[in-house]
Amino acid sequence: MKRTRSQTKESISVSKSESLTASSSKLPFRAKKIPRLPSSSNNNKNKETLIPEDSTPPPLPTPKPLTSTGEMELALHHLRAADVTLAACIDAFPTPHFHTHRSPFFSLVKSIISQQLSNKASQSIEDRFVALCGGPHSVGPDSVLALSAQQLRGVGISGPKATYLHDLASKYRDGLLSDSSILEMDDETLYKKLTMVKGIGPWSVHMFMIFTLHRPDVLPVGDLVVRRGVERLYGLKPLPQPSQMEKLCEKWKPYRSVGSWYMYRLVEAKGILPLPPPTSLL
């Protein structure tokens, strides 16, 4: 099919315009890529997920010992208000008093020596052990490590207990434990550290925390006497299991050590509360 002259002119003009447009679209410089800015929500998200590498949770505060001024009064006031049943024990028995004249190390040594022994037998062995060390003030990690297992057996300390004493002294020597650090540790950290020592279990740690360090909120759930006291206090049958003790004594927090102390007194009294002393009318 032949093209007309007018059609030929139109095609030529179109091709010229296309070439002009193509040539004009070419820039004389190289285009730069503009970076895409992150949205504010992404910025906030990134800020929230950034965690310093050296961040550590702050240590828990060390609770005030029960021997601190006014602490026992606060404990008794709280327990009376929180547990009406326990309040009868508090009114019937004398106010608890906690005293210790031994260093933490010496107290831990004593707890190892006395395991599964009567008070009389334990005291006899402890006296011979102290004399072997050179006196009460000489009982320390170095003096214990200087004694052989045979020497310790010679004063009545069994082979396993000799191993326990050496392990305790070694942890002091290596810096894993010290009297000062024990006094500064919170309850949870102290429990973990002490149960790492051979021969020291949960019950020993609980007794140490209550009667040596006078920590206010310790519940010895495995102590048979405390469990028996809770049974008699609340009229329970059968004897509460250790797993039940936490719930039963929840209301005593943060003074469960004091509540436990009254359970010892209640069992000693065979569950019969003594009559409270008469109140003077003067």
Res 17 pLDDT > 50: no
Higher pLDDT, 3 or 227: 227
Q: Which long-range contacts (CB under 8 A, 24 or more apart) does 250-254 make?
A: 251/82, 251/83, 252/79, 252/82, 252/83, 252/86, 252/219, 253/217, 254/63, 254/78, 254/216, 254/217
What are the tens digits of pLDDT across the range 31-49? Answer: 555 556 555 545 554 545 4
197-242 residue pLDDT tens:
999 999 999 999 999 999 999 999 999 999 999 999 999 999 999 9
pLDDT score of 23: 46
**Short-list 180, 186, 265, 194, CA closest to 218:** 186
This prediction's pTM: 0.76
Q: Which pLDDT does position 37 carry in this prediction? A: 56
Give pLDDT tens digits for 97-112. 988 788 999 999 999 9
Per cent of the chain over pLDDT 70 is: 76
Q: What is the pLDDT of residue 101?
A: 81
Question: Which pLDDT score is estimated for 21?
Answer: 45
94 by DSSP, 3-state: which? coil
Domains of the chain: 71-98+218-269 (1.10.1670.40), 104-212 (1.10.340.30)
